[in-house]
Structure 1
Amino acid sequence: MDDTDTYLLNFKGYYFQRATVDIDLLENLEDFEIRDDDVFIVTYPKSGTIWAQQILSLIYFEEHRNRTDNVETVDRAPFFEYNARKMDFHARPSPRLFTSHLPYYLAPKGLKNKKAKIKSAEGK
């Protein structure tokens, strides 16, 4: 017996952990409003994602740099497709940092034609 469908969700050819993925967000990814000053950390799993999150947090958030605000990484640079804290991404103040393991074909179309910054595992 195969329990794959119990644990994994196949969305447009890409597998997500069913228990943690926000299906409504996935269905509306294409039209997510991208701001020009958004920063996306797009990496393969296990390729230094947390390091990139920490480094960019130090650059973008003075409170984190000065250790005056103890905010968890998942709150400073949340995973875009796994909205674990159920935060309102639209209400987040700019600049917004997001982390993702999404393949290019699932990325919001605004990310492909806006001025948002994309940091990949390869540093591009």
Structure 2
Amino acid sequence: MDNTDAYLLNFKGYYLIRSTANTDLLKNLEEFEVRHDDVFIITYPKSGTVWAQQILSLIYFEGHRNRTETVETLDRVPFLEHGVPKMEHQKRPSPRLFASHLPYYLAPKGLKNKKAKILYIYRNPKDVLISYFHFSNMMVMLEAPENIEYFMKKFLDGKGN
């Protein structure tokens, strides 16, 4: 496993943003306890994850009534693989909402054999490529691609920053 890239971490064949990846959490994710009323938003990056996080959290927690709109989206619907500081996923009250960009083979075992709800969102890969390219140019934690051709090669290699 080559983990010399300054921006990306290769974890079991899947690339994550090095600065946000929590390797301790990832190593134990297979055993993560999934509850029957958990809801998982599963997407490829830049495919509408934040929109889905906001919509579902407003539906589940009636944000307009409970003032949850003052709580950050990542605190309402955290990424399963990122491990938000000071947040223990197992202690969150039900129903728990999660987002994830992880591939199926890295998902917790319980997600494969329990009755949790999964919302899978996909987007035209051409649109994802362009959105990811512009996102990478904007984010300091990601490598700024030289041009769209260079970025497309990395994207097709599974290293789309």
Map 1:32-71 to 2 at 5 A.
32-62=32-62, 64-66=63-65, 68-69=67-68, 70-71=70-71
Shift of 1:100: 0.3
| 1:12-70 superposed Cα distances (whole Å, 9 cap, x missing partner) | 100111221111110011100000000000011111111111110111002x1325231
Tell me, in whole angstroms, the C-alpha distance in 2 between the residues paired with 1:84 and 1:21: 10
Moved more, 3-12 or 25-34: 3-12
Listed as ranges, the gaps of 5+ residues in structure 1 are none
Based on CA coordinates, which of the two structures has the bigger radius of gyration?
A: 2
Secondary structure of the corresponding residue to residue 85 of structure 1: coil
For 1:30, give the aligned amino acid.
E
What is the RMSD computed on CA atoms of the aligned residues? 1.6
Sequence identity of aligned pairs in percent? Answer: 69
In structure 1, the partner of 2:83 is 83
Specify which structure has the higher proportion of helix.
2
CA distance in 2, matches of 1:86, 1:20: 15
Deviation at 1:9, TM superposition (A): 1.3
Higher RCO (Cα < 8 Å, 6 or more apart): 1
Verify the 8 A CA contact 1:32 1:108 in the aligned structure 2: yes
Trace 1:1-124 onto structure 2 (pairs within 5 A). 4-62=4-62, 64-66=63-65, 68-69=67-68, 70-122=70-122
Given the two structures, how large is their TM-score scaled by the length of structure 1?
0.89
Q: Which stretches in structure 2 are left out of the alignment for 5+ residues? A: 123-161
